[in-house]
């Protein structure tokens, strides 16, 4: 059973198709691991009965020789921002703690159609606002590499569950780094695709011009398989691009000879963690060894990315979260008037970080400050976008760190000022603002034995090159992807 939870999706599909294992066996192994791993607090809602029902149906399809989905019989889990019909969806908040959607998100439906088995819903920072899962109403998730550390966020439950072998892959969402940073902290692979590659329909919104669905898994190939099933046009979401979805696995050629990879000087921050800097240098050497040409480039407006991101994201959050009023589908706290009921419901239902971001967003959108903050931030966002467009005239991809440090302790993060916590997104927000794809994969370990990831950034809708470069890095890094087991 332990061997089954160490498999990659590609390996499991091969065994399933050869009928050497069944989806039911694979699912039972992960359910057992899920039960052992509850100390991690990776799941908000577990659905073992549903998973076994889906696994049995998958096995019956194979036995009957029916047409199979691309991920037929693979047990995964969904970040608890994805609406799942008939299964509680909370966004890790009190205000949605009893919400059971009557509909399915497009991405989770696509994964169901591809034959996946759903083990449950994974913990996240509340409304995806945070980089640690400390803001979750359901408590912090623990990092499988060290239970005193956070797994990153907001997709911390997804990263921890994949790392610990509780599921074979997971959905995440990335607004300013919420897939890439926890992937680095937990030693797994995760990709934020191009904005518009995946539908946002049915995903609880944080910042609508930034939110993007993406997969987290144990290998580059597994992420390629997952994204192939998740991506595509959707009539329910006008922001999805109607462009073909290639077979990303065909990009994993193992050859990047002649590719030009950019190294932006602006990411060489003063005081950069030495282990992260050394891992970045190691990744650069891997690229040279593989025959790629490493090119120094400049992304001159990078220093403005963090403030621009937090202005834009908070403004959009303020607008999106105004729908939670206690009238329709949220937990309600009554008052003597309608306004008082709104106030009581939101005061009780939203956590401190969510309130902080709503207030910041409302402030920058207010009449006296709109032009000074929001309009100016949007103009600078365009300059950041233009930086990437110019850079990609010279190079095929860009290599940078995914996070400025390895995983931090929960205690350390609790005592940090919010602005210092936000600084953890320094390497991920530029790509988010530009809408370009970025993939984080584990390259090595810190001196304390913690995983460190690097980020491959590509051109709009060129996830193929991102996967191609990441696949070569993965092979050369030879990182031990065996999920760390929870002790005790």
- Structure tokens belonging to residue 390: 């110019």
Q: What's the CA gap between 353 and 123, in Å, rounded?
A: 16
Residue 486 has pLDDT above 60, yes or no: no
pLDDT band at residue 153, thresholds of 50, 70 and 90? very high
Answer whether residue 345 is part of any domain.
Answer: no
Confidence of residue 18 (pLDDT cuts 50, 70, 90): very high
Portion of the chain with pLDDT greater than 70, in percent: 98
Asked whether residue 141 is domain-assigned, the answer is yes
pLDDT score at 1: 55
The single residue listed with the structure tokens 């976008």 is 385
CB atoms within 10 A of CB 37: 24
Whether residue 173 contacts residue 203, with contact meaning beta carbons closer than 8 Å, is answered with yes
The set of catalytic residues is 79, 154, 178
Whole-number pLDDT of residue 155? 98
| Three-state DSSP class for residue 27 | helix
488 has a pLDDT exceeding 50: no
Is 108 a member of any domain?
yes
pLDDT at 481 over 80: no
State how far the Cα of 429 lies from the Cα of 305, in Å rounded to an integer.
6
420: containing domain:
4-261+393-477
pLDDT at res. 133:
98
* Choice between 434 and 331, residue whose per-residue pLDDT is larger: 434
Q: What is the CATH number of the domain that holds 238?
A: 3.90.1300.10
Number of domains in the chain: 1
Pairing label, strands 75-79, 169-174:
parallel
Q: Write down the mean pLDDT value for the chain.
A: 96
Q: What is the dihedral of CA 242, 247, 456, 480, to 10 degrees?
A: 140
380 falls within a domain: no
What is the rounded distance in angstroms from the CA atom of residue 74 to the CA atom of residue 216? 14
How high is the pLDDT of residue 40?
97
Phi, then psi, of 154 in degrees rounded to 5: -80, -15
Residue 483 located in a structural domain: no
Are the C-beta atoms of 461 and 416 separated by less than 8 Å?
Answer: no
**Distance, CA of 373 to CA of 272 (rounded, Å):** 29
Q: What is the pLDDT of residue 487?
A: 40
Q: What is the mean pLDDT of residues 96-121?
A: 97
Answer yes or no: is 386 within a domain: no
pLDDT tens figures, 119-143: 999 999 999 999 999 999 999 999 9
Q: Which structure tokens are listed for 234?
A: 């959707």
Query: For position 329, what pLDDT does the model report?
Result: 80
pLDDT at position 328: 83
Q: 168 pLDDT exceeds 80?
A: yes
Residue 357 has pLDDT above 80, yes or no: yes
How do beta strands 451-457 and 260-264 pair? unpaired
Taking 60 as the threshold, does the pLDDT of residue 485 lie above it? no
**Across 238-258, average pLDDT:** 97
Strand partners, 217: 169, 189
Measured CA to CA, the distance from residue 96 to residue 51 in angstroms comes to 23
What pLDDT is attached to residue 484?
52
CA nearest to 12, candidates 221, 245, 155: 221
- Give the dihedral of Cα atoms 467, 473, 479, 482; nearest 10 deg: 10
Q: Is the pLDDT of residue 197 over 90?
A: yes
pLDDT of residue 330: 86
CA distance 236 to 217: 27
Residue 365 lies inside a defined structural domain of this protein: no
pLDDT at 214 over 60: yes
**Is 370 a member of any domain?**
no
């Amino acid at each position: 059973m332990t061997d089954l939870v160490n498999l990659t999706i590609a390996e499991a599909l091969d065994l399933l198709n050869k009928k050497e294992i069944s989806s039911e066996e694979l699912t039972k192994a992960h359910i057992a691991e899920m039960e052992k791993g509850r100390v991690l607090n990776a799941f908000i809602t577990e659905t073992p009965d549903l998973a076994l029902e889906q696994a049995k149906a998958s096995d019956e399809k194979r036995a009957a020789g029916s047409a199979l989905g691309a991920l037929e019989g693979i047990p995964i889990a969904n970040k608890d921002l994805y609406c799942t019909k008939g299964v509680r969806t909370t966004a890790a908040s009190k205000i949605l703690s009893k919400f059971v959607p009557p509909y399915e998100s497009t991405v989770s439906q696509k994964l169901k159609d591809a034959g996946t088995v759903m083990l449950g819903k994974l913990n996240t920072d509340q409304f995806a606002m945070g980089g640690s899962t400390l803001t979750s109403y359901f408590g912090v998730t623990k990092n499988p590499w060290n239970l005193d550390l956070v797994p990153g966020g907001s997709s911390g439950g997804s990263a921890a569950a994949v790392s610990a072998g509780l599921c074979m892959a997971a959905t995440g969402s990335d607004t300013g780094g919420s897939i890439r940073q926890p992937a680095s902290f937990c030693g797994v692979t995760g990709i934020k695709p191009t904005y518009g590659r995946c539908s946002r329909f049915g995903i609880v919104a944080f910042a609508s011009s930034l939110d993007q669905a993406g997969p987290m898994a144990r290998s580059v190939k597994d992420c390629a398989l997952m994204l192939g099933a998740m991506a595509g046009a959707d009539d329910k979401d006008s922001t999805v691009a109607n462009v073909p979805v290639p077979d990303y696995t065909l990009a994993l050629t193992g050859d990047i000879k002649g590719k030009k990879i950019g190294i932006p000087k602006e990411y060489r921050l003063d005081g950069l963690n030495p282990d992260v800097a050394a891992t970045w240098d190691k990744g650069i050497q891997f690229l040279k060894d593989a025959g790629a040409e490493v090119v120094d480039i400049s992304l001159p407006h990078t220093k403005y990315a963090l403030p621009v991101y937090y202005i834009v994201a908070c403004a959009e959050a303020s607008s999106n979260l105004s729908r939670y009023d206690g009238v329709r589908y949220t937990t309600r706290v009554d008052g003597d008037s309608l306004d008082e009921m709104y106030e009581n419901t939101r005061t009780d239902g939203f956590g401190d970080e969510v309130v902080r971001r709503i207030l910041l967003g409302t402030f920058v959108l207010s009449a006296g400050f709109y032009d000074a903050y929001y309009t100016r931030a949007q103009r600078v966002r365009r300059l950041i976008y233009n930086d990437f467009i110019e850079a990609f005239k010279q190079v095929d991809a860009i290599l940078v760190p995914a996070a400025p440090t390895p995983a931090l302790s929960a205690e350390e993060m609790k005592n940090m000022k919010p602005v210092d916590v936000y600084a953890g997104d320094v390497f991920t927000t530029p790509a988010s603002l530009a809408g370009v794809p970025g993939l984080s994969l584990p390259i090595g370990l810190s001196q304390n034995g913690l995983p460190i990831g690097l980020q491959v950034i590509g051109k709009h809708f060129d996830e193929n090159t991102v996967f191609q470069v990441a696949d070569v890095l993965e092979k050369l890094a030879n990182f031990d992807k065996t999920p760390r087991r929870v002790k005790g």
